[in-house]
Amino acid sequence: MPRLVIIFFLAISSLNCLEIVLKLNQILTDDLVQNFYSKYNLKFKRLLFEDYYVFDHDEPQRSRRSSDYITILNKKLTNDSVIKWFQIQKNLKRVKRDFFDLFQPGQEENEMILSDHFEIPFLKYENLKNIFNHQNKDDQFLNKILMCELGSVDFNDPQWSLQWYINDGCEQGFHLNITKAWSLGYTGKGVVLSIIDDGLERKNFELAENYDALASYDLNDDDSDPEPRYESSNENKHGTRCAGEIAAKSNNSFCGVGVAYDSRIGGIRLLDGKITDRLEAEALAFNINYIDIFSASWGPLDDGKTVDGPGVLSRRAFKNGIRYGRAGKGTVYVWAAGNGGRLDDNCNCDGYTSSIYTITIGSINQDGEMSVFSEKCSSILASTFSSGKVHQNGIITSDLHNRCTRRHTGTSASAPIGAGIIALALEANRNLTWRDVQYLIVLTSKPYKLASDDWTKNGIGRFVSHKFGYGLMNAGNMVEMALKWPNVGQQLKCVSLKLDLSKIPKKSVQLFSLEYSKCKNINYIEHVLARLTLSSGVRGKLKINLISPTGTRSNLLDFRKHDFSHYGFKSWPFMSVHYWGEKPDGLWYLEILNKSNFDAFLDEWKLVIYGVEYVPRLFFE
């Protein structure tokens, strides 16, 4: 392959710079760099992936604001025979999943409103009891403490006795069985995790000893230091809090203990500035042969009406991660399910959580109920703890300015706990692939005392729920199974396409079918994708179910009362993990309920089944 020598242009790109990613039909050479600059005023910036190159567009600010100018530039780039594909970068709306405005002003006077800037429950009534002072003012309204007795493990960390979600001596009677994994000798040693977020306070008392610079980068300022930007509202606390859940040091006489307290932790600073598809892709693809697990507690707006997901570049980054990360075993991506539960949002409308390459984690409160903010959908694989109602306990973790908080919350708090548990399993078996990890979660997560009216047995008798996935994660059992788990076989893929235009009349239910037979030797299903192109006058008035040949009914989309969009879905991937272990052959049914006053139309239905020919014997134990 010819060596690429790039002429360096000394230029500083501002946040307002127009950035373009090009995919070329040939290798980028010095001559091409000069050619692109002279023809289009493009300055080479960096290589993103193989054949994908990032350029800055050197034009006056006034020109960049002109839609006519962008149209002309689009046409020029489209007509260039050297350019196979290009993408002009646009700002994306992404939100952290640490808190949620549960109620809007004007609703019930005795209900809770969460501040836009702090995770402080501001109560409209004054009959508060048991208010006490803590280090952080977001702890002042915690009015119920779940006390724990000395369990099987003890630490000198002052908040350990309040870590109800880890400590097996706590009164609620069920936990994540993390102390069992520790007792087996697994605390995350040798496992590297990175938090994709708003930064990481690397010198924090809880994190400094486990901080890993090789797992860290600042994409907002384009440098190697992920330190958050400090300001009066402490808005950029999120990444530091998520990191502490995983890697907070034990026995340092400060705060609490992380789930994988001997793991290495880094941070990718992404969320404190403009966010583009290219920046997300760089975060997801950063040092994937070194980082084992990425934890992400953010995504598109959780407003009950948004349908959004990773762009072309981010999807490519996910694929690169699972194909090439961890020396071919696959990078593990853990994602928070979303905080739109109060708005009837559905995490299958979030393309990050509905990806087969991510492990989506939902939230459970201390009473074994789905947290009020947590979204439900068929792509949730399992759940861990978070807070719930105003009187319930939150998650204890590190905070900015070397402080400690008891009020970390949202599905943001659940995903890092899941990532920490996975770190314990990876320490036990370094040969686990990204799919092996998902198998272990399916097999060891259990319903326990989790309250839900939608628990159902799938076609092989395994309980699954749209609220909790396969249940509460169990670290001890996951580690024990990891120790004896052989690698699962090669992932197989089967695609069936139905293109007939079908009408779904207003106020009706329509059933569509597809026949599967001899699906490329797939005998055991893992993931199922229903990729739909569906037009509708009111998108939120649609409900979609998928029924397998064994009769397992998975709700791919529920009604969303705030979604009045008329754009429908264009080749949108609805994903379900509910059929894990079933055989694919037979008749599949797609059931669409349209309760709007407008007809809907199914333009395309593509069913994509992922699975294997054989599963390890342990799958049946």
CA dihedral over 397, 430, 383, 103, signed as positive or negative: positive
Q: Which of 412, 465, 548, 596 is catalytic?
A: 412
- Between CA 225 and CA 230, with CA 227 as vertex, the angle to 5 degrees is 145
Virtual torsion, Cα 402, 404, 408, 413, nearest 10 deg: 70
In 3D space, the residue among 485, 334, 474, 333 whose CA is nearest the CA of residue 411 turns out to be 334
Task: Reply yes or no on whether 383 is catalytic.
Answer: no
Residue 272 is given by DSSP the state S
Q: How many CB atoms lie within 10 A of CB 313?
A: 24
Pairing of the two strands 192-197 and 293-296 = parallel
Provide the β-strand partners of residue 572: 532
Residue 343 is given by DSSP the state G
In 3D space, the residue among 292, 308, 301, 376 whose CA is nearest the CA of residue 337 turns out to be 376
Q: Are 620 and 533 in contact (CB under 8 A)?
A: no
Q: How many CB atoms lie within 10 A of CB 155?
A: 18
Q: How many CB atoms lie within 10 A of CB 221?
A: 15
- Which residues touch 446 (CB under 8 Å, ≥6 apart)? 463, 470, 471, 472, 474
In 3D space, the residue among 494, 464, 456 whose CA is nearest the CA of residue 588 turns out to be 494
Q: How many Å apart are CA 108 and CA 114, to the nearest integer?
A: 14
Q: Which of 168, 197, 198, 292 is catalytic?
A: 197
In 3D space, the residue among 522, 579, 573, 508 whose CA is nearest the CA of residue 547 turns out to be 579
In 3D space, the residue among 460, 475, 593 whose CA is nearest the CA of residue 523 turns out to be 460
CA dihedral over 36, 37, 39, 41, signed as positive or negative: positive
Measure CA of the first residue to CA of the last residue in the chain; give whole Å: 50
Detail the DSSP E strand segments found in 5-116: 18-24, 42-49, 52-57, 83-88, 95-96, 112-114
Q: Are 294 and 334 in contact (CB under 8 A)?
A: yes
Provide the β-strand partners of residue 114: 121
Q: How many Å apart are CA 335 and CA 416, to the nearest integer?
A: 8
Residue 327 is given by DSSP the state G
CA dihedral over 96, 99, 100, 101, signed as positive or negative: negative
Q: Are 596 and 541 in contact (CB under 8 A)?
A: yes
Task: Reply yes or no on whether 412 is catalytic.
Answer: yes
Q: How many Å apart are CA 6 and CA 296, to the nearest integer?
A: 34
Q: How many Å apart are CA 500 and CA 312, to the nearest integer?
A: 27
- Between CA 561 and CA 257, with CA 360 as vertex, the angle to 5 degrees is 120
3-state secondary structure of 321: helix
Provide the β-strand partners of residue 546: 554, 590
Task: Reply yes or no on whether 238 is catalytic.
Answer: yes
SS (H, E, C) 121-165: EEECCCCCCCCCCCCCHHHCCCCCCCCECCCCCCCCCCCHHHCCC
Q: Quick one: tokens of 273? A: 């500035």
Q: Which of 175, 238, 466, 578 is catalytic?
A: 238
Q: Which residues does the annotation mark as catalytic? A: 197, 238, 412
